[in-house]
Amino acid sequence: MYKNESNHNIIIRALALLLVFSSFTASAQLSLTGQIRSRAELRDGYGTLQPIGYSNAFFISQRTRLTFNYKSSRLIFQTSIQDVRLWGQDASTTTPADGSKLSVHEAWAEIVLSNKADKDFKISPVDYFAVKIGRQELSYDDERLLGATDWIQQARRHDAIVLKMLDKGWQLDLGAAFNQNTDATNYNGTYYVAGNVSPTVKDSQGNLVNTPAGIIPLVNAAGISSKTGSPSFINPPGTNGLNQNYKSLQYLYAAKKIDKTKISALFVADEFGKYRLDSIKNTSGIDVGYVYGRRFDQSGVNTRFTTGLLINPVFGAKNEWKLNGGFYYQGGHDKDGLALSAYTYTLSAIYNPARFAYTAGWDYLSGNDAFSTSTTNHRFDPLYGTPHKFWGYMDYFYAVSGAPNGGLSNPYLKVKYISADARFSTELANHYFYLAQNQKNTAGQAIDKYLGTEFDLTTSYKLNKVTTVDLGLSYMAATSSMEYAKNITPGTAHLNPVWAYLQINIKPDFLNK
């Protein structure tokens, strides 16, 4: 029997036992839900400008997820198994050497210690208090800084412990995470290297070799190892795009709703291991090359902290007006040890009188001025949020492809329509992208801060209770400044990128009709 088949059978048998067990637990609630989300994408400049002469890309990706949830008065338990891949990524048949393709997206338990709403608790000092431990999604407010990143098929989760309290309208969450690579008895210290580093890398001569242990390779735009790596100081990725996870994380979230206004505060401290630059010699025939990289075998960590407030007042006779305002400051040191002083703010207003909703807003994320001699990093990093929701659906900013070192200023307008039965909706969004600070061209002169305008048209239709079809079309009118901002040689890329997708999302609830 193949390993894949063995794993599948184990999961099916385990679920069958859980279903039998549920018949003897009348006081507990049991749910078993599934998801198949297939998404076809046509890319002609998604994430970054497409070089002239390149062909469009087309593919279909799929997330398959099975989520089990058990809830009683004293315990909430959830596991989520998912498989993420492209159609055709694997051969039509597999061998035992392929190994298991499944992964655990969530596996957590929430131990309930106090609950005034449950008569089973004779003494409850607060309205609700619980400890949630295990692999879990961390999602707060609009997911600007902490979110599930559900748009990407693999989503985002953390291995963490969270203390959760509700009392007299207050919500307080205190969470912590600590990452490590191995539990080997002869491992020296707690040095941490991200587990998702590519197993192979090209040395400085272009020869493919195994990635040296304990190193995150530096590579240039061609994927070849080099002393400086990609010029990330021009277009560095946000935390969402890093292949290095944090060493540890702590956060405190506090929220209070006063009448129709919600006020929330967030403090996040994340720490990254210190490193030294290293090189490993590789001899391949007559070629002598090197693999350059960051070796994480140094004591201590670089600590970054982010803190701020978000306020969401709602008013009007029919609650038709919603405002959103927030400010966050980032300090300490970045992952490379540079002093950090950055900030972001967001302002928006939504008017929703009936079927239509109108939104006007502005997001500002600070950056570094190319003409400044300061050694402090002023580029704000939106942590572990969901950038796809905020800065254009084409993901040009703070996603995998990076964002300008000069930061981002993004005024935007949106109009959305929802049908009376809520089965159909469509939205048109318009983003104007500007650099927040100066950036230089190859001649050392300041470029125009205007980067381009993006239009996003999305439509969603609910076929039935469990099936939704989504269609999206995005177009950007970019300027030559976008080439500099994305670290592309001027005049070598198309400045009118297009992206389209068609998605079918099927989410059945197997235990409820």
**DSSP per-residue letters across 58-74:** EEEEEEEEEEEEEE-SS
Distance CA 468, CA 220 (A): 41
Distance CA 65, CA 153 (A): 10
pLDDT > 70? residue 12: no
Question: 439 near 403, Cβ under 8 Å?
Answer: no
Which three-class secondary structure state does DSSP give residue 438?
coil
When comparing pLDDT for 325 and 222, which is higher? 325
pTM of the model: 0.89
pLDDT > 70? residue 5: no
3-506: CATH number: 2.40.160.100
pLDDT > 60? residue 233: no
pLDDT > 90? residue 284: no
Give Cα 130 distance to the centre of its chain: 26
pLDDT > 80? residue 107: yes
Give the pLDDT confidence score for residue 238 in this predicted structure: 62
Give the pLDDT confidence score for residue 4 in this predicted structure: 44
Give the pLDDT confidence score for residue 109 in this predicted structure: 96
Instruction: Of 233-242, 398-407, 424-433, 481-490, give the lowest mean pLDDT range.
Output: 233-242
pLDDT > 70? residue 274: yes
Q: Give 357-395 pLDDT, tens digit per residue.
A: 999 999 999 999 999 999 999 999 999 999 999 999 999
Question: 36 near 91, Cβ under 8 Å?
Answer: no
Average pLDDT over residues 327-345: 95
> For the stretch 14-47, what's the b/e string if a residue is b when 16 or more beta carbons lie within 10 angstroms of its beta carbon?
ebeeeeeebeeeeeeebebbebebbbebebbbbb
Average pLDDT over residues 174-200: 82
Residue with tokens 């996603």: 399
In the chain, the N- to C-terminal Cα span, in Å, equals 35
With 0-12 CB in 10 A as exposed, 13-18 as middle and 19+ as buried, what is 216? buried
> For the stretch 126-157, what's the b/e string if a residue is b when 16 or more beta carbons lie within 10 angstroms of its beta carbon?
ebbbbebbbbbbbbbbbbbbbbbbbebbebbb
Give the pLDDT confidence score for residue 362 in this predicted structure: 98
pLDDT > 90? residue 20: no
With 0-12 CB in 10 A as exposed, 13-18 as middle and 19+ as buried, what is 437? buried
Which three-class secondary structure state does DSSP give residue 42?
strand
What's the CA angle centered on 283, arms 281 and 286, to 5 degrees? 140
Instruction: Count other Cβ atoms within 10 Å, centred on residue 440.
Output: 15
Give the pLDDT confidence score for residue 136 in this predicted structure: 96
Secondary element (H or E) of residue 38:
strand 29-44
What does the CA dihedral 371, 374, 378, 379 come to, rounded to 10 degrees?
60
Give the pLDDT confidence score for residue 126 in this predicted structure: 95
Categorize the per-residue pLDDT at 1 as very low, low, confident or very high, splitting at 50, 70 and 90: very low
Distance CA 473, CA 41 (A): 10
Domain residue ranges in the chain: 3-506
HSE value, Cβ hemisphere, 13 Å, CA-based, for 312 = 11
Distance CA 105, CA 86 (A): 18
Give the pLDDT confidence score for residue 228 in this predicted structure: 73
Distance CA 127, CA 167 (A): 5
Kindly report the backbone phi and psi dihedral angles of residue 477, in degrees, each rounded to the nearest multiple of 5, phi listed first. Answer: -105, 95
Give the pLDDT confidence score for residue 217 in this predicted structure: 87
Average pLDDT over residues 225-231: 69
Question: 245 near 272, Cβ under 8 Å?
Answer: no
Average pLDDT over residues 484-490: 88
HSE value, Cβ hemisphere, 13 Å, CA-based, for 41 = 22
Assigned token pair, 305: 């902290």
HSE value, Cβ hemisphere, 13 Å, CA-based, for 13 = 6
Radius of gyration of the chain (CA): 25
pLDDT > 80? residue 18: no
Kindly report the backbone phi and psi dihedral angles of residue 51, in degrees, each rounded to the nearest multiple of 5, phi listed first. Answer: -60, 145
Categorize the per-residue pLDDT at 231 as very low, low, confident or very high, splitting at 50, 70 and 90: very low
When comparing pLDDT for 181 and 413, which is higher? 413
Distance CA 399, CA 240 (A): 6
Residue 98 DSSP symbol = G
442: left (phi over 0), alpha (psi -120 to 50) or beta: alpha
What type of residue sits at position 417? Y
What type of residue sits at position 71? K
E-strand spans in 184-318? 200-202, 208-210, 215-217, 248-258, 261-273, 276-284, 287-295, 301-312, 314-315
